[in-house]
Amino acid sequence: MKPWRACGVLAGVVVALLMAPPVVAHHAIQAEYEMSQTKGFTGVLTRFAMINPHVRWFFEETKPDGTKVTWEMSGAGPGALRSAGLVRIFVVGTKYDVTFAPAKNGANVGRVRTMKSPDGKVVTLFHEDPTNALNN
């Protein structure tokens, strides 16, 4: 191939790539979590992270025998929680009763469904309704 022709082909590929719409990768929660199951634990919130694309809650559960288990729960994106006024209600050091859809790989992670605080207030964070912004 002649050099000028190769440059023309290369320029055409570059222009095509620059004009292409950006691809945004996202995963289906059904691929990562057993959405047909609900499990639960009671644990102390050790960290609350507003991380895109999903908010994360980190807990430490103390089993009856005294052993500690750490959990990582994911939920909607930060924007959805801000819109719903749920950003400041989670207090590190507070014990919550958590229900969640467990990870398919058996890891101590899950998709949070509800959190119940010591005062009895239950916050539902997943309704399994794909039209609800909090489910994304």
Residue 92, domain CATH: 2.40.50
Is residue 6 domain-resident? no
Is residue 4 domain-resident? no
Whether the predicted pLDDT of 97 surpasses 80: yes
Nearest by Cα to 40 from 90, 97, 103: 97
3-state secondary structure of 67: coil
Question: For the chain, what percentages of helix, strand and coil (3-state, to nearest 5) are there?
Answer: 20, 35, 45
- Residue bearing the bigger pLDDT, 24 or 92: 92
Is residue 12 domain-resident? no
Residue 118 is predicted with a pLDDT of 93
Is residue 96 domain-resident? yes
Is residue 54 domain-resident? yes
Q: Are 77 and 53 in contact (CB under 8 A)?
A: yes
Residue 120 is predicted with a pLDDT of 95
Whole-number average pLDDT of the chain: 81
3-state secondary structure of 11: helix
Instruction: Give how many domains the chain has, as a whole number.
Output: 1
Query: Against a cut of 0.75, is the pTM above it?
Result: no
Q: Which domain holds residue 31?
A: 25-135
Cis upstream peptide for 22 (omega within 30°) = no
Is residue 9 domain-resident? no
pLDDT digit string, tens, across residues 20-32: 554 444 557 778 8
Is residue 64 domain-resident? yes
| CB-CB neighbours of 3 under 10 Å | 7
What is the Cα 84 distance to its own chain's centre? 16
